[in-house]
Structures are given as C-alpha cells and as structure tokens.
Chain A
Amino acid sequence: MKRLAFTTYTGLTTAGLALITAVLLTDWQESVASEVFWHILWQLQLPLVITAILVGAVLAVSAASLQVVLHNPLADPGIIGISSGASLVAAGLLIVQPIQLAQGAPYLLPLGCFIGALLSTWLIYLVARRLRGAAMAVILAGIAISTVSGALMAWLYVLADAQALRNLTFWLMGSLYQTDWMILSVAGPVMLGSVVYQCWQSRQLNWLYGGETLAAAAGVTPEKLIKKTLLASALGVGAAVSVAGSIAFIGLLVPHFLRLVIGYNNRALLPACALCGAVVLLAVATLTEYLHLITLPVSMITATVGGPLLLLALYRGQWKVA
C-alpha cells in the first residue's frame, strides 16, 4: 500500500513537471525574439500554469474531503451549492453590465463570484443547521440552493442579449485564461491554504468514515471538524470558481479514480488528489496551448475525457472487488 502510494505520487509529479515544461515551452520553437518569449512566458504562460495547478488541486481535494464529511460519494463542490452561488453572481454581472465589466472594473467578476460562493455556502449552512441532521441536510440544502439559482439564471438568460449569453456560456463551462497576476496574488494563497489545511487534517477525516459518534470517540469534536472542512473547501472552491469559472467533473472524477488506485486512507488520498487534479488541468492547458484552442471550455474537455475514464475505472473496480 505504501509503495503503491509512493509510485502514484512519483508518477503524478513527473507527469505534472513534464506538462509544466510543455506549456512553458509552447512558443520556444517558433524562434521568436527572446524578449517576446519571456514576456509571453511571464504574462501568459506562467499564470496559466499556476492557475491550472491550484484550481485543479483545490477542486479535487475539496471534493474528496466533502465526500467523506457528507458521507456521500457523489458530493462535489457543485452539489453543496458552492459553484451555483458563484455562477449566479457571475451571470448577473455578465448579463446586466457586460460593457462596464469588460473595461472599468476587471476584478468585479472574480470578486463577485467569490462573494457569491461564500454567500451560498453560508445559506446552506444555516439551512442545514436548522434541519439538525448534518450530512443529508447539507446535501438537500445544497440542491435546493442550486435549483433556486438555476431558476434565477434561466430568467437572466431570457433577459440577456446574444453577446452576453455567449460570454456567460463560456464562463459557466470554465476557462483557464481569465487570470492575471493581480487575481492570482489574491486567490492563489486562498486556494493553496485550503489545499494545505485539508491535507493537514486528513487523519481526522479518516475518523469520520464510521460516523460522527465514532469520530468523537476517536478524539475530535465532529461538529467542529465538519464546520472547518466545509469552510476550508468553500473558501478554496470559491476562489477557484472566481479564477477559472465553473469547471465540472474534476471533483467527481479524481477522488474516485484515486480511491480505486491507492485506497481510502485520506492521508495518502488527499495529497494524491491535489497532485492528480493539478495534472488533469495542466493536461487541459497543454492541449489548448498546442492546439490553439483557447476558446475551448475546460469542462468540455474534462467531461469528454474524464467521463469514459471514470466509467472504465468503475467497471474494472467492480471486477476487482467481486
């Protein structure tokens, strides 16, 4: 088991480094003047690489720990409504004020998304607390919030003009090309902190596998642990959504895939999820860079490649256990 985890780490790190190099060297062959090359590297490709790594890592890790905390293998940041709050704010901003947004205040959108994510998480938390039951209540409240914001967004669609609709559609399906150093300097540390914190408390997450009472018996206050994990993942995912829009599927794909490979121990699983999530988005970045498909939404690629892969993993996993 230890060796398997080690091999996985090594493999993922190597793949990650290779992809980083690939992205950074995209324009190397084109024999451009070195000044231009460095400018592109510094202003475009380095932010792209950092965005891909952090967003991928935080989405995968948050989903993995949410699945444990909520006792639901289907949980991901989308299901507890974090992304839907952010999407709603983004939709509102993009559709109501598309022009001012593009010029005067470029940071209004990420900021709004972040606030939207936190607001919806807070709302879900309030509802869940009134319902008393921890796991199921959070999921139900999340679905309710998602439904409401979905409905509001449908209304916005009706009101929007064609260009705004197009912007919104692209934003909703995710893009790694909307960042710059300014946004990253704020959102980056938040995402990094969220990933580190969740990995750091992964041993206590293992105690939640047997339910809240057993976690308490094992030495941790379950309510606090759950609250902190929800907060850490909401902050991290909120930052990720405001940087890269809503990226589907990584949260569901990566943890399940890795559980089949290295097992259920969160101390090994969460760091592996961070690495794997980063590698997946780096691969997407490499693909879009080399094929010059900057306009291709990230969710389209992750879902197209990831869906069949997950199916395959599940299928083979079933064989193994049976």
Chain B
Amino acid sequence: MITLSKVGVSGRLDAINLVVNKAQHWHILGQNGAGKSTLLQIMAGLALPQHGHCLLSGTPISDYSLAHLARFRAFHGQQQVHSFAIPAGQYIDFYGAGKGAHPLPAVLTEALELKPLLSRPVTRLSGGEQQRVNLARALWQVWTAIEAGEALLVLDEPMQGLDIRHQLTFLTFLQQLCQQGNSTIISSHNLTLSARFASHAMLLNGGQQVASGTISQVFTAENLKMGYGIAFDITNNQNTLQIHPQWPPVLS
C-alpha cells in the first residue's frame, strides 16, 4: 500500500526504506526526536520528503489531493489546545465528512468508551479523555473506508495519555481493523505492547533506520540497544515477548 524509498528530510530522517502492505499493523519505535512524527506525516501525505519518494498504491502520495486522501486516510496528531468549549460529540461530527446525522457506530464508541464524554465540552476533558475523543475523530472521518477494509490509519502516539486498560482495548480494536483489511501505522513508546499487538515494527534512531520487519526480526536485544542506548532483557513467555530494560545500566 505504501512504499518509501530512500526518504529523507534534512536533519530529521535519512534514507528510510519501508513497504507497508494492506492489512499490516506497523509500530514505529524510537527515542524522542528520532523522526517518528516526521515519518508518519510523510506517510499520511501531510508533509513532503526532501529526498526519495513516498508511493501510495504505486502513485506518489503528493499526486493525491488532500480531499481525496481525507476519504480513506485517517490521521491523528499531537494534542491541540482547544480554544472553544465545543461538546465532544459535535467536535467528532465536524470531521465525519458528509455523514451528517448518522450516530457514531457502537464498535467505535465502545472501543474508546466515548459515551460519557460526548456531551462534555472538549476544553473540560482530561488529557487522556481528549486523546480518546481525538482518536474517535480520526477514525470517524474515514469510517466508510474502514468498514470496506480499505482505510489507511496513521496515528502519532495514540496511546499517549491513555490508561493501561484503554491502551489494551484500543490496540485490540486496531488489530481487528487490520484483520478486516485496513492498514495501520502508529508510533509507540511501549515496547511490550508493541511486541504483542503489532504485526511489523520499525526502529528509528536519530533519523536512521535501525531495523524494520516482523516483530521477531526487530525485537532483538542487539537492535533495541542500538535504538535506545541501553540494554534490554527479552524473554519469550508463552509466545509473548517480555521486554525489560536493564536499569540501572550495568557498566562494562
């Protein structure tokens, strides 16, 4: 679905190659400032690479109009400070292109537990609640494509601010969406959760690609040490990877 070849942005990203196929669930990992957000914006068609190119179904993504992309590509970005006390439900609806009075589907409201939030103004929600509303907004915009299994979901740190239960329910939900044929690319800071839910991962460090591929290819002690600068213990417990950083670092 998306092919990146030698994508670079000076000072941010360097020669990134990546192929994301339909129905795959990618997690982009790396330290703060590793270039995750820039990469996601390029893959969402919201920023242009300075070098290399980003192809969407074989066509440069810059050839698609924003209005066309908006029909099947969901994007969730970093938090926006709201200046108007819009009720959350109305706020989500503004982005539901052309769906008018249709109510939010139950799967979506349940996955993000939106019910108690919809009537409250966005300015009065906590950080995690705002995050859930924003995720719902992103998915609702392309809901028709999601139902058809043709959506591309690009979510920048969707788990930020969510409590552990909401992280688990949301990642399970994303996994289901991928099984229906949708492609998902998110950035993540939780290695254990990523190892459990993603189908593929990419590890960045300082704009460089450290590793990318399936979970077992990426989540090796060697790769993680290169990506994060500290050592990790990786154990396989009933087919679930347990990843623990060695802390404090052992001096060698």
Which A residues are within 8 Å of any B CB, using their own CB?
Answer: 68, 71-73, 206-207, 209-211, 213-214, 216-221, 259, 263-265, 321
Contact = CB atoms under 8 A, between A and B. Distances in A.
Given A210-B91, A210-B95, A213-B46, A218 B83 contact: no
A217 B154 CA distance: 10
A214 B95 contact: yes
B66 A216 contact: yes
A210 B137 contact: yes
B138 interface: yes
A145 B73 CA distance: 41
A267 to B, nearest CB: 9
Interface stretch (B74-82, B174-182, B193-201, B233-241): B74-82
B77 A209 contact: no
B141 interface: yes
Contacts of B87: 263-264
Given A217-B138, A218-B70, A221-B66, A207 B121 contact: no
Interface in B49-99: 65-71, 73-75, 77, 80, 82-87, 90-91, 94-95, 97
- Would you list the 3 A-B pairs with minimal beta carbon distance, nearest first? A219-B70, A217-B75, A211-B80
A206, A219, A221: which has the most chain B beta carbons within 10 Å? A219
B44 interface: yes
B141 A217 contact: yes
B3 interface: no
A71 B90 CA distance: 17
Contacts of A206: 94-95
Contacts of A68: 84
A219 B73 CA distance: 10
A221 B84 CA distance: 22
Contact of A265 (B67, B94, B124): B94
A226 to B, nearest CB: 14
A272 to B, nearest CB: 15
Contacts of A207: 94-95
Given A219-B66, A221-B66, A209 B82 contact: yes
B86 A209 contact: yes
A220 B75 contact: no
Contacts of A265: 90, 94
B134 interface: yes
A162 B67 CA distance: 58
Contacts of B41: 213
B91 to A, nearest CB: 6
A210 B134 contact: yes
Contacts of B84: 68, 73, 209, 259, 264
Contacts of A216: 46, 66
B77 A213 contact: yes
12 contacts: A73-B83, A210-B95, A213-B46, A213-B75, A214-B80, A217-B44, A218-B70, A220-B67, A263-B86, A263-B87, A264-B87, A265-B94
